[in-house]
Each structure stands twice: as structure tokens, then as C-alpha cells.
Amino acid sequence: MSGLLHDKNILVMGAANQRSIAWSIAEAVHREGGRVALTYQAERLKGRVTRLADELGGAPMIECDVADDDAVRRAVDRLAETMPVLHGVVHSIAWAPAEDLQGSFVETTRTGFAQANDISSYSLIAVAREARRLMTEGGAVVTMTYAGSWRVIPNYNVMGPAKASLESSVRYLAADLGPAGVRVNAVSAGPIATVAARTIKDFSGMLDLLESHTPLRRNVTADEVADAAVFLLSDLARAITGEVVHVDAGAHAVT
Ligand code: NAD
């Protein structure tokens, strides 16, 4: 498997450290011959992300807090200086207050619900709107979701409706941007121990349970999720849009 993304410019959003799914995707894009640009949320992450960018031979890095439309617009303007044409965007970003990722769902706060949906779902629309300015040759948008969107997962709580909204946006964006040759898809990953995932109460219990229940009798790795993202970014997936692809060792089929 080599060169699937040869000569393609890909923006990867959401690498905070080496465990981030976004980082595995950035590495896989690089391996497949794509040029990677990284965004990071805030100054406090800059040092860590600089080290990641160095591992890719000095990938361009741009700060972008997706809670702010102007910041998203500015980030794409800055990206245009090094990548005037963009072929792919990876949106691997989510956030919810820790207190809304445990206990009883009915106690979800109005603020927590709004924040989770703003950062984890609305941001895909904001990013797609700005990124399409540079996707003049068509391209692909890939976001990350989880099966808590359509079934109840203990403690996933407020992120469930946020991911349901994200997946619905994937379909609406696919319909909107398809005529311009831009495809929009999601990867629904099985649980992986990242910083975001560990905010969910008893996350490791979920990993243990799935290990004995999935058809493949194991959990997935970030590298496996990244390979699926590469496929969706590549021309091999040229007729696939508005889709949610499960990369979860088959968990979705048996629960
Ligand atoms: P992570 O903590 O490594 O990545 C989350 C990223 O979101 C971080 O880089 C963080 O800086 C960024 N972020 C949060 N708020 C932001 C903001 N306001 N502006 C810009 N960036 C912001 O965790 P991860 O598990 O790699 O998460 C990536 C995506 O994968 C998320 O959408 C998550 O829901 C999804 N996902 C994760 C799993 C899992 O088990 N880890 C499973 C399925 C889906």
C-alpha cells in the first residue's frame, strides 16, 4: 500500500499528542505520499504539536480553536499561503464537559449540551464551509464519530446526541458539496485510549468488555482507523459520500 494520496494536500485537525487519532491519520497520509498540514487547538499544545510536525518533515502548523468562526476562517486563510489547493480535510475534534460524561443522562446541563454540540458537531460545518474555498479540484472531508450516536453507551451521554447530529451533518454536507466534487464521510471508530476517550467515566471497562464481544475478539488501533480514513480521502473512495464507515472490529454488528 503506497502512494494512495500522492501529491494531495490534506489538512488534519485534532492532533494533540501521539495518541490522538488525528496523529495516526497524519502519519498515514504522510506514508501515502500526501502533504500534511496540522491545526492545533491552542497555544498550550503548540510545543507538542511542533514535535509531531517535525516528525513529518516540518508540516505546516496553524492554531485553530473551532469554537470561533473567525479563527476557522483565519486558519484557512493561513493554510492557503502554503496549500492554495486543498484535497482533503480530516476533522478529528470533540469535546464535552467531563461532568456530562458520567452519571445520569437526564442530568445533562443545557450548557454542556450546547458546548458538546458546538465543538463536536457544528464545527464540522464551519470547517467545511471555509475549507471548500480551497477545494477547487474537488476533495474529501472525513470526520470521526462513535456508535454512541445510535445506541446507548454508559457514560457517553451528551456525546451521543452530538455524534448523531455530526453524522446527520455528514449527509447534508455531502448533498451540498457533492456537485463541487467534494465528498463528506465519517469513520465510526471503536474505542481507543486517547485523552478525549479517557474523560468518559469507566472507559477502560468498555475496552475490556468489547475485547471479548466483538466479532474479531479485540479492540481496534488508531492505525487501523487511520487506514480507513486514508481510503476515504483517496480516489479509491471516489463514489462514496454521505457514509459512516464502522472501524470497530465488528462491534456494531453484534450489539
Ligand atoms: P484527542 O483528545 O486526542 O483528540 C481530540 C482533539 O480535539 C484534541 O486535539 C483537542 O485539542 C481537539 N479539540 C477539542 N476542543 C477543540 C476546539 N475548541 N478547537 C479545536 N480543537 C479542539 O482524542 P481522540 O480520541 O483522538 O478524538 C478524536 C475524534 O475521534 C473525536 O471526534 C472523538 O469523538 C472521535 N472518536 C474517538 C474514539 C476513541 O475511543 N478515542 C472513538 C470514536 C470516535
- Give residue-wise pLDDT tens across range 22-41: 999 999 999 999 999 999 99
- Rounded mean pLDDT of 102-130? 97
CA of 16 to the centre of ligand 1 (A): 8
CA of 106 to the centre of ligand 1 (A): 24
When the pLDDT of each residue in the chain is averaged and rounded to a whole number, the result is 96
Beta strands in the chain, from DSSP E residues, in sequence order: 9-13, 35-40, 61-63, 88-91, 139-145, 182-189, 244-247
CA 72, CA 134: separation in Å to the nearest integer? Answer: 13
Task: Convert the pLDDT of each residue in 215-254 to its tens digit.
Answer: 999 999 999 999 999 999 999 999 999 999 999 999 999 9
User: What does the pLDDT read at residue 206?
Assistant: 87
Task: Convert the pLDDT of each residue in 38-51 to its tens digit.
Answer: 999 999 999 999 99
pLDDT greater than 70 at residue 214:
yes
Phi, psi (deg, nearest 5) at residue 131: -65, -30
pLDDT greater than 80 at residue 131:
yes
Query: Is the CB–ligand 1 distance for residue 128 below 6 Å?
Result: no
pLDDT greater than 90 at residue 180:
yes
Query: Is the CB–ligand 1 distance for residue 243 below 6 Å?
Result: no
Cell of 172: 447534508
User: What does the pLDDT read at residue 1?
Assistant: 44
Q: What share of the chain is helix, strand, coil (3-state, %, to 5)?
A: 50, 15, 35
User: What does the pLDDT read at residue 2?
Assistant: 63
CA 151, CA 85: separation in Å to the nearest integer? Answer: 39
DSSP 147-162: GGGTS--TTTTTHHHH
